[in-house]
Structure 1
Amino acid sequence: MKVPYLRIGVDVGGTNTDGVILDPLRSSEPGRGIVAWKKSSTTKNPSDGINNVINEMFRESNIDPTDVASVTIGTTHFINAVVEMDKSRLACVAVLRLCGPFSKEIPVGVDWPPELRNIICGYRGLVDGGLEIDGSLICELDEDEIRRQCEEIKSQGIRSIVIVGVFSPVDVVYRQEERAEEIIRELLPDVDIVKSKDVANIGFLERENAAVLNAAILAFARRTIHAFRDAIGRLNLRCPVFITQNDGTILPAHSAARLPIRTFSSGPTNSMRGAAFLTQGLDREAMMVVDIGGTTTDVGLLLKNGFPRQAAAYSEISGVRTNFSYPDVKSIGLGGGSIVRKDKDGSLKIGPDSVGYQIQEKALVFGGDIPTATDYMVLSNEELQIGDRSRVNSSPLKDGLDEFRAKVKATIERIVDTMKTSPDDIPVVLVGGGAVIAPDTLKGASKVIKPNWSGVANAIGAATARVSGVVDSIESTELRTVSQAIDELSKRAVEKAVENGALRDTITIAEVESIPLQYIADKSRIVIKAVGDFDFSRTDFSGMEENMNDQADPIPEETDQISCENQRNSPLEMSKSPHKLVFTKDYIEGYKPQVLDRQWFISETDVDWITIGCYILGTGGGGSPYQHMLRLREMLRAGATVRVISPSDLKDDDLVACGGGKGSPQVSIEKPYGDEIMESQTVLYDFLKLKPNAVISLEIGGGNGLQGLILGASTNMDIPTVDGDWMGRAYPVSWQTTPVVFEKKATMIPSAISDGNGRVMIMTKARTELEAERAFRAALSQMGSHVGCAKGPVSGANTKSWVVENTISLSWRIGRAVAMSRCTNQIDTVAESIIDEVGGPQSAKVLFKGKIVGVERVTKMGHAYGEVIIESAAEDGAGMTEKAVIPFKNENIFVKKIDADGKEQILAVVPDLVCVIDAQNGEAVGTQEYRYGLLVVVLGITASEKWTSTARGIEIGGPKGFGFNDLDYQPIGSFQKPVSVINEYNISKAVA
């Protein structure tokens, strides 16, 4: 029986449709196994472009269609619909949250660009439902409420619905999202329904965002993929059709029609994988891949293993935050079709607008009347055979030729420099149809490589993409080890990859992630990814073709969706506020916080910078401040006043409240906030029959760093927040605080906790804070593993004695430094900028730089214990490497360096701060976000003297407080008190 063996790769870009026919059995030959290739202009109907390019390749190479094993298509169509905010391709979406009492203060699209939010986000309904982290119910699903919500959605004419339940990715018992889908289908059989658990994993807001974007393009995706399949059918090909994903693997076409978001950013990934294929045989080293298309230039770093460098833990799609892992790619508006014109000052302006797929109609060399980058390149290179050279030889373009070359060169050099993580020169690989406009030498490049077939690297990447199988599951480890669970799930992942078309003998386990669930005994979330080559011998593709004919009938070009811009009668009005702030160097240098009569009035800019600083000071713990930042920002936009005062301005008899969240950071990532933190304060002060004069954050690190600001600005309290906290960082337990250092008996009793779901506890007596902590921790696992906690008030006099001063100011300064590094493209030195803000080299230092190569986690007594291993490659890329090992208990405990000879050295240990930041954007990386492949910088900061000046402080906050009794504290430097924003910027009202 004849076995098909050829692979066809097609990449449909905004300007060109590229194709390649590849014989993988000949990939090591000089011709790389490339049987045929073709580049043609993208057509308005993508079906025509695909048909044309494959037909041309068949004609030129005399290929028998029965020899083709698969067709893999990469496309930018779906992400372009979002990026271009095209109302004709984006549907209005309703969101039903299965959330109980949580998230009611968070609008859908709260952090989206306003224009995109107004097009897509049409309705939000809150329904009782949702799970706790252990799989128990927040509350039962309210099926009658779902029916009522369906009537409202129907009345508004919305036909795309997203269902998002709290902890739905772990819901294997109640299947609330599935049951909600069943009810909706009974009442609204013609609507598109997207379950969030099918789209992304843990991370409620980010998963909701991704699901909403997916729902918005479903109808357009069906039309597009129907057109792709139609093109393949007309060519008499009887092979499976795949669509490339953004991780370098492929999806069956029917799966891509349901989950088009997984194709986002697959174009740059295809080009980078194609570049890796084309540079086989060269010394394998990290390379910068510059993919110049007809409209844009995409730049990413190709690692030594031949795969793209991954972006940060969270990624943005057109300004929308999601929890997908993306290749770290930056795009600029430069391509072969870029329009070149004179600017107002007489200088040349290249792009960002482009003639796109109409280049063969509108460019001068093709008889058009619009000067493009291609016209200039034809004029400057006599060997370039594109169009009719005579049309530009006598044109006025000659006068600007030198300026054009200089601008293109500078533009590419600038984007390459932005993507580099060190000043060292790096090889640059030029691919894409527009690569002809790039020079042969570039500043910052050790060499410039233009491989053969570089113009169709994206199609080659599609043709060589691999097949994957992913299993994401919550597993019990009570009767088996984590390793045994991983082995069992690995087998399932392999079978899933085989089911998707992978050849069993080629499958390897590419990624393993095991995350113990905090405060839940013997449970771990395990994610396994298996990857293999396509099985060319397969002839039974019935499983892959399942549902492929669901949309066989022609689909109209336009949907009949009603624009969300006309949908504004939902229960909660959409936020009309602007998108996140964009900082410039001039703005940052000129910005002055508003401080009047020693009261700091917090602005959105301040909130942005404080948030960045809080997470870095969290030393890996404390949970992400992102949700709390959104809450505080919305409060400001609603008219709240947020005030900060200096500890020194407290009166001795003032009462200072304290509050924050207590529990697992994994819960705060997934379960949106409710009223739990405010409720604990209200219950406590009603019990005490007192009103506090000010409030202080329990810890500055992580999400709790913003809680003092939120509580103080709430209408229930309306009091200022103290510029300081009880830790100066984050610690895993609330008895690791400075009041406990200075006072052995319990000083913040009575205390109260609330889960925001009807359960409240008050502890009126305890001998020590440790006893109170243990009691609350015992209750915590029964209250959803996350509660709001209100500590009893402390006097102004004691606050001034015990506080770690000016930590809000310090967070602000750290955030400002990170913002400046980003806007000036100096992320390489962001750690050094932070060091300058915390007291200089005598107080802090860079301890290590490298890539995370291993993470191990276990849960003990409700806390996440483990260690992360970071590897720093030798500068020449050869020889052994140094490693850093960081054990953590929620927070990072110490850093141990292991050199190439195995010699170990402790670089820093608690109470000094060990902070891990993302080398690509300067953001903190929490312990729950540690994952293989992240490039990080480890920063050490000397702890406050409130911890280090006494033996008791070192005992509680040092290594012995984490169970490392054989490890002694050695400071990395001398502590410098943070500079107060209030002292620096204060203006009296009389002067103002």
Structure 2
Amino acid sequence: MGSLGQQRFRIGVDVGGTNTDAALVGCFETSSNDKQEFTVLASSKSPTTADVTSGICDAVKMVLEEADVPREDVLSINIGTTHFINAVTQRDAAKLERVAVLRLCGPFAREIAPFSDWPQALRDVVEGPVGYFSGGLEIDGRIISEIKDSEIRDFCHELKAAKINAIVVIGVFSSLDSGTPTQEEYVRSLLLREMPNVDVVCSRDIGNSAFIERENAAILNASILDFGRRTIRGFERAFRSLRLDCPLYLTQNDGTVMETKTAMRLPIKTFSSGATNSLTGALFLSGIHSRTTDLDPSTSQIIMVDIGGTTSDFAALSSSGFPRQSPATVKLGGVRTAFSMPELVSIGLGGGSHVLEQDDGRVSVGPTSVGYRLATSSKCFGGDTLTASDIVVASGHASNITGSVPIRLDAGLVARARHDIKRQLERSIDSMKVSDQEVVLLLVGGGSIIQLEGLNNVKACIRPPFYTVANAVGAAIAKISGEVDRVIIPGDRKQQAIVDEVKVETIGRTCSNGAIKSTVKIVDVDCIPLQYMTNAAFRIVVRACGELGWDKSTSGGRAVLDIDAVETYDEGEIPRVLPSKLDLDSQEMDYSTYQPEVSMAGEWFISETDLAFIAEGCGVLGTGGGGSVYSAYLQSVQALRNMPNGRMRVVEAKAVNHGDRVAIVAFVGAPTVSNERLAGDGELRVACDKLAQYLQLDGGSSAFAGLVAGEIGGSNGMRAFATAASMNLPVIDADMIGRAFPKVDMCLPYVYGAEKPSPAAVADARGNAQIVAEVESRDRLERLLRCLCIELGMFTASALSISGTNLHQYTCHDTVSQAWFLGRAILCARQDKKNVVDSLVDLIPGCRFLFVGRIVEISREVKGGWTIGTATIERASDDEEFISWDSESDQRPMVLQYQNEFLYAALKGPDGSQESICTTPDLITVLDMSGSALSTHELRYGLLVSVIAMPAHPLWTTQQGMQASDPASFGLHMQYQPFGQSWQKTPSVIQQYRPSSTLER
């Protein structure tokens, strides 16, 4: 280590629901490499006040007085705050602005309106005018349509009349836009020219993938921009009153800090910084990062638990040196986003947790708590409530709790309470593990004194100095980061050259954010190939971080504000005990008692609850592919709500006459495109109309007896609902495949040669429509549709038809019902806090549990336009909260291979050999721990998953069916592995709930 220079200081602050913590850290700049060395000099806790800023002032004043350091030597103040997420979760109209949304999409992106999936209470506060305008890009970089200035100017009149002060501009595939300026930036300039005082957020500044999720995050960000500015100005006024003339930074979700000018523009990035601050502080205080201990983070799993008065929050260290990020979609205030958040496990266990003894002698600790009343309610403080802190005192550790008095409790009660605390901690630690490496547990937070027992499978438990304010210490020593996230079409360039170019850009962005260049390092590079693409497009995400700079006068952390001109602002009362989950909306309906509406005539009238069940089930039947169900679900709900005089209905396949014709509807193309370039207004209806016109059906498309899904798995399983309703036709309770498969020519009537795979109609939102009149074979249809799909932007509507006779004989019947029963089992288990996988196995005929564990390796490549991937999953610990499986059973990891859908599951031996346990055409599905199905592109390292399987429909296990769907048909050198359980017919919702059926029983 080089010689140390002058000591300077940083102050870290963490604002919690009960207390505001502060820590003053002394830091030296080493002359050899500009690296900073830190020492904690003082810490404090102060009650969080209603106006928040005065509580921060009190905490900061205490550490300054304790350490008695020159204020001019304070380099920065770094704050972690719950201000902004609180405003969203509380739906506070005084802090949230109404937001207008401008979609640059041409004729696309009409199927789902902005705010469609928002909780109504929040929507009522935030929703503003919506406009659809020319603009947007295709996945290959082509422009959908040029921006029209007159459209934007005309919309500004509406925005002025509505007194809108916040606007989101979102363009289709805006992350691909390399223009100077980009379309979003150009429209922002137009808006500011017409409305100079409004806030305009460009979606590409917020995130990359998934149109709905990016739009939602951009809207949330826009809604709190004004409140964010006022809050940060209040912070700066407070510090100016303390004679602190230094930059202010805010901590963000990934454990780094950002300058105030960025925080004012992107306050959403601060939403979940508390646990990351605690982990950063715990790592420093324990000496692990500086290697002042014998613990090696490269050979151990580092897990932190921050135990407060009410909850315990667990986070884990990733290989990048930062908190492991959650790979799943995250809800903020009940709003679905794809924003990066740390992976957390929160349980109701803390120092104030109630200790309850049951009649049978069992003792439980938590999840209810006395919270901030601990110092008055607990027995060790003279109260009459038995808490976890009382167990600590009764165990002889009263010295660990300042101000407590010794108490005596029954020894058996104490032992059983300590055992329950130990059990809960061990279970949560196991849920965070990603391998069989030894675990080092870092214990921080004031409530961490309740951990008294040795923990199984934990190498070491470390409660470091200043553990009660580890969150504030983490904020004080946090680094600064930069990130580049975009979709690349490589053309003639090599991928490695592109990666190197993006790395340089990321380092530059990190330095411009305020990092010392010599300390900046690349911490994460992720290249993700895009499915179905023929242009080798891939998404690249590069992150870098470095030490904060030392020059106060040039630091980017200082907000460009006239502090003295800022008005006083009262942030208002905040809750003393914050919710552990961000989604506060509760479902009042009892799913277990819900009954669908079925008429005597056998028509099933669909409700929003039915659609929710079917959506979850279609995800399961998607077997990793089929595209995102979410957008199709929202479209179906939106269509149902817009039907004042019509009904959305389902009928059985046998209700179709032999001589009738039924339209087969599906979107064909890439899930990557369908998640971003949302459908327009009625492409499937246009495809059906064109097909009926070609077939010369009397009455046009209304002559069809109904619509049937091309595949029940994934997005296409729900596409028929809105279109059928618009045509006043029923959806048939059947589909062409019984699951999801990657190609149109795998529809069973074509596999068996029973139905000609033509004519086929294709349509897009621009008004393009084509008829494929004749094809020589089913695989020729697949190739022709693929060519058309590429020209039309890799996502287009298609329609074919099938006779009633072939519908009866060569399709999978009652698959809408199957999806409904699957979804009901998932939502009932989730509502009742039961194990989802166990519920599926118990309730669904033929469903079988295969594996539970964490994903430890993922590889992907693109061959011939298909994404070929492999995922390796390591066994999870035996834990009844996740899945019941025999801990003495085979401990080998599982390997899954997929080509858009999962093709096989095998157990991997120590020598690399694989023992297949399930293969295509049987269904293999991966579920997250909420029980929702995951698509193959959603698989991420560290994700805890369960794997289930179901037997294929008998039409797939004949000689003809196997030729089209067995492993060899996908180029795999293995034999079909029989599933081991026989297929059973799915119950029919119509038969089970039809009134006449009830009378017959």
Q: TM-score range by the shorter chain?
A: 0.7 to 0.9
- Residue 756 (structure 2) aligned to one of 747, 760, 778: 747
- Equivalent position of 2:13 in the other structure: 10
Deviates more, 1:547-556 or 1:215-224: 547-556
Aligned pairs for 1:718-733 (under 5 A) are 718-733=728-743
- Aligned partner letter, 2:872: I
- Equivalent position of 2:136 in the other structure: 130
1:715 matches 2:726: yes
1:967 matches 2:974: yes
Aligned pairs for 1:674-685 (under 5 A) are 674=680, 675-685=682-692
1:498 matches 2:511: yes
- Contact persistence 1:897–1:907 (CA under 8 A): yes
Aligned pairs for 1:164-203 (under 5 A) are 164-173=170-179, 175-203=182-210
* Partner Cα distance (1:669, 1:688) in 2: 32
1:223 matches 2:230: yes
Shift of the 676–328 alpha-carbon distance from structure 1 to 2, 3 Å rule, reads same
- Equivalent position of 2:995 in the other structure: 987
Identity rate of aligned residues, in percent?
A: 34
Shift of the 905–387 alpha-carbon distance from structure 1 to 2, 3 Å rule, reads closer
- Contact persistence 1:4–1:68 (CA under 8 A): no
- Contact persistence 2:507–2:520 (CA under 8 A): yes
Q: CA deviation at 1:855?
A: 3.3
Deviations, residues 400-442 of structure 1 (Å, cap 9, x unaligned): 9x99999999899779868964999999765334556x57469
- Aligned partner letter, 1:698: G
- Aligned partner letter, 1:215: A
- Contact persistence 2:305–2:442 (CA under 8 A): yes
- Equivalent position of 1:57 in the other structure: 63
Shift of the 433–149 alpha-carbon distance from structure 1 to 2, 3 Å rule, reads farther
1:299 matches 2:317: no
- Residue 909 (structure 2) aligned to one of 899, 906, 910: 899
Partner-residue secondary structure (3-state), 2:766: coil
* Partner Cα distance (1:519, 1:812) in 2: 29
Q: CA deviation at 1:147?
A: 1.1
Shift of the 747–110 alpha-carbon distance from structure 1 to 2, 3 Å rule, reads same
Shift of the 207–603 alpha-carbon distance from structure 1 to 2, 3 Å rule, reads same
Aligned pairs for 1:175-574 (under 5 A) are 175-235=182-242, 237=244, 239-279=246-286, 280=288, 281=293, 289-293=304-308, 297-302=311-316, 308-329=323-344, 383=398, 421=431, 431-433=444-446, 438=450, 440=452, 451-504=464-517, 507-518=520-531, 520-535=533-548, 538-539=550-551, 542=554, 544-545=556-557, 548-549=560-561, 553-555=565-567, 557=569
* Partner Cα distance (1:844, 1:850) in 2: 19
- Equivalent position of 1:589 in the other structure: 592
Shift of the 485–543 alpha-carbon distance from structure 1 to 2, 3 Å rule, reads farther
- Contact persistence 1:518–1:859 (CA under 8 A): no
- Residue 925 (structure 2) aligned to one of 906, 915, 939: 915
Deviations, residues 45-80 of structure 1 (Å, cap 9, x unaligned): 444333332332232223344554443211111111
Partner-residue secondary structure (3-state), 1:17: strand
Deviations, residues 171-199 of structure 1 (Å, cap 9, x unaligned): 22272211111111111111111111111
- Equivalent position of 1:569 in the other structure: none
Q: CA deviation at 1:755?
A: 1.1
Shift of the 872–374 alpha-carbon distance from structure 1 to 2, 3 Å rule, reads closer
* Partner Cα distance (1:454, 1:165) in 2: 46
Deviations, residues 130-154 of structure 1 (Å, cap 9, x unaligned): 2222222222222212111111111
- Contact persistence 2:350–2:447 (CA under 8 A): yes
- Aligned partner letter, 2:716: N
- Contact persistence 1:26–1:33 (CA under 8 A): no
Deviates more, 1:468-477 or 1:118-127: 468-477
Q: TM-score, normalised by structure 1?
A: 0.84
- Contact persistence 1:581–1:605 (CA under 8 A): no
- Aligned partner letter, 2:537: S
1:945 matches 2:957: no
* Partner Cα distance (2:118, 2:584) in 1: 6
* Partner Cα distance (2:242, 2:472) in 1: 18
- Aligned partner letter, 1:432: G
- Residue 636 (structure 2) aligned to one of 626, 632, 636: 632
- Contact persistence 1:519–1:781 (CA under 8 A): no
Q: CA deviation at 1:336?
A: 7.6
Q: CA deviation at 1:355?
A: 8.9
- Aligned partner letter, 2:825: A
- Equivalent position of 2:866 in the other structure: 864
Q: CA deviation at 1:798?
A: 0.8
* Partner Cα distance (1:803, 1:315) in 2: 37
- Equivalent position of 1:797 in the other structure: 805
- Aligned partner letter, 1:899: G
Deviations, residues 901-923 of structure 1 (Å, cap 9, x unaligned): 323333433222232222x3222
- Contact persistence 2:203–2:214 (CA under 8 A): yes
* Partner Cα distance (2:73, 2:852) in 1: 52
- Contact persistence 1:474–1:523 (CA under 8 A): no
* Partner Cα distance (2:788, 2:209) in 1: 24
- Equivalent position of 1:820 in the other structure: 828
- Residue 108 (structure 1) aligned to one of 114, 118, 125: 114
- Equivalent position of 1:571 in the other structure: none
- Aligned partner letter, 1:641: R
- Aligned partner letter, 1:946: L
- Aligned partner letter, 2:595: K
- Aligned partner letter, 1:631: Q
- Equivalent position of 2:714 in the other structure: 702
Shift of the 456–26 alpha-carbon distance from structure 1 to 2, 3 Å rule, reads farther
Q: CA deviation at 1:5?
A: 5.3
Deviations, residues 811-850 of structure 1 (Å, cap 9, x unaligned): 22222232234234445xx34443444534xx64415632
Q: CA deviation at 1:668?
A: 1.2
- Aligned partner letter, 1:782: E
- Aligned partner letter, 1:176: Q
* Partner Cα distance (2:264, 2:50) in 1: 20
- Contact persistence 1:475–1:526 (CA under 8 A): yes
- Contact persistence 1:748–1:794 (CA under 8 A): no
Deviates more, 1:88-97 or 1:546-555: 546-555
- Contact persistence 1:4–1:66 (CA under 8 A): no
- Contact persistence 1:94–1:123 (CA under 8 A): yes
Say how many residue pairs are matched: 939
Structure 2: gaps of 5 or more residues: 31-36, 356-363, 572-582, 698-702, 879-886
Q: CA deviation at 1:248?
A: 1.5
Deviates more, 1:259-268 or 1:449-458: 449-458
Deviates more, 1:274-283 or 1:421-430: 421-430
- Aligned partner letter, 2:715: G
Shift of the 122–389 alpha-carbon distance from structure 1 to 2, 3 Å rule, reads same
- Residue 157 (structure 1) aligned to one of 163, 178, 184: 163
* Partner Cα distance (2:27, 2:568) in 1: 39
* Partner Cα distance (1:632, 1:76) in 2: 36
- Contact persistence 1:131–1:168 (CA under 8 A): yes
- Contact persistence 2:480–2:548 (CA under 8 A): no
Q: CA deviation at 1:514?
A: 2.0
- Aligned partner letter, 1:455: T
Deviations, residues 21-53 of structure 1 (Å, cap 9, x unaligned): 3357899xxx99422211112234444333332
Q: CA deviation at 1:980?
A: 1.6
- Equivalent position of 1:566 in the other structure: none
- Equivalent position of 1:622 in the other structure: 626
- Contact persistence 1:98–1:164 (CA under 8 A): yes
Q: CA deviation at 1:351?
A: 11
* Partner Cα distance (1:338, 1:972) in 2: 47
- Equivalent position of 2:700 in the other structure: none
Q: CA deviation at 1:709?
A: 2.9
- Aligned partner letter, 2:783: R
* Partner Cα distance (1:633, 1:416) in 2: 42
Partner-residue secondary structure (3-state), 2:618: helix
Aligned pairs for 1:75-86 (under 5 A) are 75-86=81-92
Q: CA deviation at 1:986?
A: 3.3
* Partner Cα distance (1:226, 1:527) in 2: 36
